[in-house]
Structure 1
Amino acid sequence: MLDKADFKFIFDNHFEEVRRYIFYRCGDEETASDLAQEVFMRVWEKRTKLTLDYIKPLLYKIAGDCVVSDYRKKTVQIGFAQNMKLESENISPQDQLQYEELKQQYAKALEQLSESQRTTFLMSRNDELKYNEIAERLNISVKAVEKRITETLRVLRSKLL
C-alpha cells in the first residue's frame, strides 16, 4: 500500500521519464504531459493495492495503455469529423433553409419559456450537467429539476411540431 510520501517519491522520481516516454510514443508535448498526469492519477486511485516493488514497470504499462487509448479516441474523433464534413457538403439548399427555420423557431420557443425553465433546460442540454448538479447549483430538489425539464420538453414539442 502506497502512502502520500511514497506517491510523492514516485511522482518526483518518475514523472519526467514517463512524460518523455509518452512524448516519444505520441510526438506531442501537451498530450504527453496530459497523459503523464493521467498515469499518475491512475496510480493514485489504485494506491491501496500497490507497493513500491514493481512500480516502474507498472508506470510504463499504464503509460502505454494511455497512449493507445488516446490514439483510439483521436482516431474516432477524426473519423467523425471527416464524416460530418462530407455530410455537410451534401446538404441541399432546401435542407439548409429548413434547418435555419427550425433553429429560429427553437430560439423563439426558448424565449417564451420562463426564466427558471430556460435556465434549467440549457444547463441540462448545453452545459451537459446532470440533474443532481443542476439541483445543487440552483438550490432546488432533483424532482424540481425533473419537473422543469419535463415541462420544458412538452412546451418545445408543441411549439416545434
Structure 2
Amino acid sequence: MSKDLKEDICEETVFERVYNKYSKDLNDFLYYKYGAQYNPSDKAQDAFMKLWDNCKKVTLSKAKSFLFTVANNMMLNEIKHQKVVMKFEKETPKKYTNETPEFLLEKEQYFERYQAVLESLTEEQRVAFLLSKVEGKKHAEIAEMLGVTKKVVEYRIYSAFDKLKEGLGDFKIK
C-alpha cells in the first residue's frame, strides 16, 4: 500500500505539512495571476478551509490540485462579483419619485398618528399586535411566547385593531 493512501489529510500533522508545503506557492500563484486587488492570501486561506472541510474526500496526492483549482475558482467568482458590483455602481438611481408633496405630507402625518395610537395601546395589546403584524408570528406562537391562551392573543390583537381604526378614522386602513 502506498504512503499516500495511509496518510489521512484529516490528521492535523498531515494537514499542517500540506499547508506548510503549498501555502506560499498557492498565495504566489494567485497574486501573480490576479494581482493584490482580490485578496489572494484570503482566497488561499479559504481554499485550505475547503480542503479541511473535504479532507475525507481528497487524497494526499490530489491535495495540491484540489487547492489550486478551488482557489482559482474562488478568484474567478470574486472577479464576476466585482463586475456585477461595478455594473450597478455605474447605474445612477433616479432622483425623482412619482409621489406628490401632498402624499408625502399625508404619509408623514399618518405615521405620526399611527405611532401615537400604538403608544396608547396597553402593553399586552401592543406586544401581541406587533408580534403578529410586524414579525409575522402566528397566534399560537404568540400565545406560547406570552404564556397565555390563543383566544387571549386573538382578543388582544383584535382589540388593538379596533383602537387603531378608531384612532386613524380619517385614514383608510384595512
**What SS class does the counterpart of residue 48 from structure 1 fall into?**
coil
- Report what 1:65 is aligned to: 73
1:10 aligns with 2:18: yes
The list of structure 1 runs, each at least 4 consecutive aligned residues, that deviate by more than 4 angstroms after superposition, is 89-95, 111-114
1:30 CA drift (Å): 6.5
RMSD of Structure 2 on Structure 1 (CA)? 4.4
Q: Give the TM-score, by structure 2 length.
A: 0.52
Aligned residues: 128
Higher Cα Rg: structure 1 or 2? 2
Relative to structure 1, the CA distance from residue 76 to residue 54 in structure 2 (aligned partners, 3 Å threshold; closer, same or farther) is: same
1:87 equivalent among 70, 86, 93: 93
1:36 to 30, 44, 49: 44
The equivalences for 1:3-152 within 5 A come to 3-28=11-36, 31-83=39-91, 86-89=92-95, 98=104, 105=111, 143=141
Question: Structure 1: which amino acid aligns with 2:27?
Answer: R
The alpha-carbon deviation at position 6 of structure 1 amounts to: 1.3
SS in 1 for 2:85: helix
1:18 positional shift: 0.9
Counterparts of 1:90 and 1:58 in 2: how far apart (Å)? 51
8 Å Cα contact 1:25/1:67 also seen in 2: no
Q: Secondary structure at the match of 1:54?
A: helix
Could you say which structure has the higher helix fraction? 1
The equivalent residue for 1:139 is none
Percent identical across equivalent pairs? 16
Change in CA separation of 1:70 and 1:31 when aligned onto 2, cut-off 3 Å: same
- C-alpha spacing 1:33/1:105, structure 2 compared with 1 (3 Å): farther
How many angstroms apart in 1 are the aligned matches of 2:111 and 2:24?
53
Extract unaligned runs of 5+ from structure 1. Answer: 125-142
